[in-house]
Amino acid sequence: MNTQHKTSAFLSIDEIANHIRAGQLTSEQMVMQYIERTQRLDKQLHAYIDVYSDEALNTARLRDQQAQRGKWLGALHGIPVAIKDLFDIQGKPTTGGSKAIPARHPQTDATVISRLKAAGAIILGKTHTVEYAFGGWGTNEAMGTPWNPWDMTTHRIPGGSSSGSAVAVAAGMAAAAMGSDTGGSVRIPAGLCNLVGLKPTAGLISRHGLIELCPTHDTVGPITRTVKDCALLLDIISGPDTLDPYTCQAPVRQLANDLDMNPTGLRVWVLPDAERQYVDMDVLEIYDTALEKLQQLGMQLIDKPLPNSLADAMQLGGALMSAEGYAKLGGYFEQPNDLFDPHVKRRILLGRQTSVAHYLDLLKQRMFAISAMQAAMRDIDLCVFPTNAISAIPVNEVDELATPLSRLGRFVNLLNLCSLAVPAGFSKAGLPVSIQFIGSALQEPRILQAGHAYQQATTWHQQYPSGLDDTH
C-alpha cells in the first residue's frame, strides 16, 4: 500500500471542489489527469467499457469558464465521475455487461445521470459490470473481469457487480462512481477495493433508466473515497422522481453537512457468534479491532442472535433474485447463444422453476423476515458487521457456485435495510478489509454519521494502491 502524500488523482470530491473554488485546480486538469491514468493503467485494470474523453474535456472547459464567471451549477461543479454500464446516458449504448444481447441506445438520461449533470458533474465514461449485475465476484467471462488494483502482480477479484466502478475510483481514474446494489453489488467491491459504498433504502433513489434485475432488491448507490463524499452524492441523486413510482414517498434531505455527531451511547448490534464461523480469521481480527475503536468512541456493543440466519436470508433472497431476474431477462437467456456468461445464465434460468404461487409465497416469507428484523432492531441503533467474509482472492480461484461475498450483504437488500461499507484495515497479504454500518429503512443519516465518526478516527481510507505509477 502507499502511505505517501496522495496526488490529486486520489483527492476526495470535497477536496477537489475546494481546490477548484480556490483556483488551485481546474476541472480540465482533473479530467486530463484521469484520462491519462486510464490510458496508462486500464489496459491491465479493465475498469472502463468506454471513456468519453472528448466530451469530458469539452464539458470540463465549459465548467471552468462558468466558474470564472462565478456561475456554479452545484456541489459537483467540475467533478469527474464514472458510471456503471447499467445506467442510460443519452446517446451512449447501455450493454449491461453483455455481448449476447444488443445494447440499448437511450434517447434520454437515467434520472440519476440527469441529477449528477444538473449538479455540475462531468461523466468520464462507463464502467464494466457483471453481466446484468448478477454476481458478487466481479467476473465477466464475455466482457472481461476488472483487475483489483491492490495487487498488480496477481489478477484478483474486484468484487461485483459494480466491479469497474470500484476499480476506477480505487486506481485514481475517477473521483467517484455510480453503482447498483441488489445483494451487495456496491458494498462488496467498495469493501474489496478500500472504498466507501452505500446501499440506500429501496425507493430513496430513482431507478428510472437503470437496467433492472430484481425490483424488490435493486437499489442505486455511490462508490467514493470518504463517507462525506457518499453523503454528498446521496443528497444530489435521492428524492422523489415522477418517472419512478417507487420514489413517491422518498424524503428530501441534506446530510453531507450534518455528519458530525457524538456517537457516545449508540447501541451497536455486532455479528453474532453463530455467524462468525463463516468469516475468515484475517477479516475477523480486523473486524474485532474496529469494534474496539467503536467502543473507544463511546458506542455500546450488543451481542444477540439474528431472528433469521444469514444462510436463510441468502436462500430466500437468491430465490427472489432468480425469479425476478428470469421474469425480466429470461426471454433473452432462453436463446441458444454462446456469448452469455454461463454462470449468469445458470442463475437466471433457475428462476423459470418458480411458479406464481411459489413467488407469492417467497414475497410472504420476505415480509415475515422484514417484520422480525424490525422488531429485533427496536432496542438498537444500528448493526456493524464485516462487509465481506473474505478479502480479494485470485480470479483463478473463484468458485462460481460459492457465494461467500454475498453472505453478509444480501440480507440487507432482502430486509430493505440501508448499509454503508467503510474501510477498516488490511489483511496480512495487504488486501483491504471493510466493515458495514447497517440501519433500518430510511436511517441513512444515522449510519452515515456513525460511519463518518469511525472514519474520522481512523486512517485506512487514506491508503492507496502502490505500483500504479510504474505499471505498463
Contact 351, 330 (CB under 8 A): yes
161 flagged as catalytic: yes
Residue 334 pLDDT > 80: yes
The lowest-confidence range among 118-122, 255-259, 466-470 is 466-470
Return the closest-CA partner of residue 235 out of 125, 117, 121, 116: 116
Residue 3 pLDDT > 50: no
Amino acid found at 76: L
Q: Answer yes or no: is 50 within a domain.
A: yes
Read off the DSSP letter of residue 433. Answer: E
Residues 6+ apart with CB under 8 A from 297: 263, 264, 453, 454, 457
Banded pLDDT at 4 (limits 50, 70, 90): very low
Q: Answer yes or no: is 130 within a domain.
A: yes
419 flagged as catalytic: no
* Set 161, 165, 180, 391: catalytic member: 161
Amino acid found at 358: H
**Average pLDDT for 306-317:** 97
What is the model's pTM? 0.97
**Average pLDDT for 9-18:** 97
The number of distinct structural domains making up the chain is: 1
How far apart CA 14 and CA 37 sit, in angstroms, is: 21
**DSSP reduced 3-state for 178:** strand
**Average pLDDT for 179-196:** 98
Return the closest-CA partner of residue 279 out of 291, 287, 268: 287
Contact 414, 316 (CB under 8 A): yes
Q: Indicate which CATH number applies to the domain containing 304.
A: 3.90.1300.10
* Set 185, 238, 406, 419: catalytic member: 185
**Average pLDDT for 242-253:** 97
* Set 84, 92, 228, 328: catalytic member: 84
**Grid cell at residue 111:** 434520472
**Grid cell at residue 41:** 493503467
84 flagged as catalytic: yes
**Grid cell at residue 179:** 453503482
Q: Answer yes or no: is 341 within a domain.
A: no
**Average pLDDT for 174-184:** 98
Domain residue limits at 185: 8-308+367-462
Half-sphere exposure of 428 (CA within 13 A, CB side): 5
**Average pLDDT for 206-212:** 97
Q: Answer yes or no: is 131 within a domain.
A: yes
Q: Answer yes or no: is 374 within a domain.
A: yes
Contact 323, 216 (CB under 8 A): no
Q: Answer yes or no: is 193 within a domain.
A: yes
Residues 6+ apart with CB under 8 A from 254: 235
How far apart CA 249 and CA 252 sit, in angstroms, is: 9
Q: Answer yes or no: is 351 within a domain.
A: no
How far apart CA 51 and CA 82 sit, in angstroms, is: 9
Banded pLDDT at 467 (limits 50, 70, 90): confident
- Interval 72-128: pLDDT, tens: 999 999 999 999 999 999 999 999 999 999 999 999 999 999 999 999 999 999 999
Q: Answer yes or no: is 383 within a domain.
A: yes
